[in-house]
Amino acid sequence: MRINDEIFINAGKETLNKIFDQNRFVVSPTFQLNNSLSISPTWNSQYASTSTSGHYRQTNVFWLQVRHNLDLSKGSKAN
């Protein structure tokens, strides 16, 4: 299970009124199907600033990660 919270902050002379940029909260449990295949249904809730000062947008994104590990060393033997 992966849970993380990312906060993005702007820095520099041009960011006087827009220091906070976005906050991302991610939950992603991983299910191992076999030794080489796993899936992770992932939810990302994002709260981000817009080009208008003081206005923010809340979005929710869902995706499915599929990981397949290939073992290319099988079948080839060094002589």
Q: Does 76 map to a domain? A: no
Radius of gyration, alpha carbons of the chain:
20
Q: Does 41 map to a domain? A: yes
Q: Does 6 map to a domain? A: yes
Domain containing 49: what range? 2-68
- pTM score: 0.74
Residues 22-50 pLDDT 10s: 999 999 999 999 999 999 999 999 999 99
Average pLDDT over residues 46-66: 93
Q: Does 14 map to a domain? A: yes
Q: Does 78 map to a domain? A: no
Q: Does 75 map to a domain? A: no
Q: With helix as H, strand as E and coil as C, how does the chain read?
A: CEEEEEEEECCCCCCCCCCEEEEEEEEECCEECCCCEEEEEEEEEEEEECCCCCCEEEEEEEEEEEEECCCCCCCCCCC
CATH for 22: 2.20.25
Q: Does 43 map to a domain? A: yes
How many independent structural domains does the chain possess?
1
